[in-house]
Structure 1
């Protein structure tokens, strides 16, 4: 069962996507992510790519982000994200896009303070995603990208991105990048 770990919506239960195409982020990994980037935020815009149920973006809103865009190409995921948003009354703080992640990144002009990237491990788009975010300046100065990947995956930041932290958790790896 998914739940919000901390903040305004702490302990609220979230629906998850019933599909083998979606892998929910475990509570342990979610804790690691938010312990690494800061427990709470004082506003800011968040992007949850490959959002699944939306639990990572909802966690960011619960911890103080003021807006979150959720992107997933799966209809079942979009449906669950919208249900979770409705239950928590987050309609004013969110936008939901049913779109491929790279297509979204190449078409948006919005910039973000926090970008959460949790694609299917077998998808080989990690480097492309970082490159598009960097080249299109979608991350605000001192903004953070959190990328969850297979523990064997290596991704090298370019241009104005630097890797500031990396942690392996079983078969997963959390990599954190910052825009300088």
Structure 2
């Protein structure tokens, strides 16, 4: 895995190795990340990456949030409960020299603490497939003040997802075996 574009273009990320089967650690492939960021930077959604405040839920290796930072996001919070994922995120932040604009929150995405500071304008949601964790995670993020009005959510799952309360559907898109559901938070 590597960073596709921006300041850290070409940077190789830490290898998952055996991963963490219990946490269903499944990194977003380079190809899928490229698809996601081409979609985001294609103009259809304005410029959601540049100067964004990013929330990366179920962050895994942190590849999505790191890609956003490389492309000009202002800051990113990585939420990961698994120890292997936390270790990988720390290593990747170190490799990318991104400690200053990034924060690792070792927490369950369904039990987020109240947000301090600016709410997220761009949210990456990549829960373990098929476990119905995405909507509850978004509800927890909203309840904790993590979601800015009109925030864009990029939800990766095995099937298209309906928008939960407080969000409207912007687009469904299939990308290989993954389905991307893009949502807008209520204003």
TM-score above 0.5, yes or no: yes
- CA-based RMSD of the aligned residues comes to 1.8
Any runs of at least 4 consecutive aligned residues in structure 1 with deviations exceeding 6 A, and if so which?
none
**Pairs aligned (count):** 175
What is residue 76 of structure 2 aligned with on the other side? 68
TM-score, L = length of structure 1: 0.89
Residue 28 (structure 1) aligns with: 31
Matched-pair contact (CA < 8 Å) for 2:124–2:154:
yes
Give, in angstroms, the shift of residue 97 of structure 1: 1.6
Runs of 5+ in structure 1 lacking a partner? none
Please state whether the residue corresponding to 1:28 is helix, strand or coil.
helix
Equivalent residue number for residue 17 of structure 1: 16
- Which structure 2 segments of 5+ residues have no match? none
In structure 1, the residue matched to 2:169 is 163
Contact 1:47/1:116 (8 A) holds in 2: yes
Question: Which residue in 2 is equivalent to 1:112?
Answer: 120
Q: Is the 8 A contact 1:157 1:177 kept in 2?
A: no
- 1 or 2, which has the higher strand percentage? 1
Could you say if the C-alpha distance between residues 113 and 9 of structure 1 is closer, same or farther in structure 2, counting changes exceeding 3 Å?
same
> Is the CA contact 1:126–1:155 (under 8 Å) kept in the aligned structure 2?
no
| TM-score normalised over the length of structure 2 | 0.85
1:139 partnered with 2:173: no
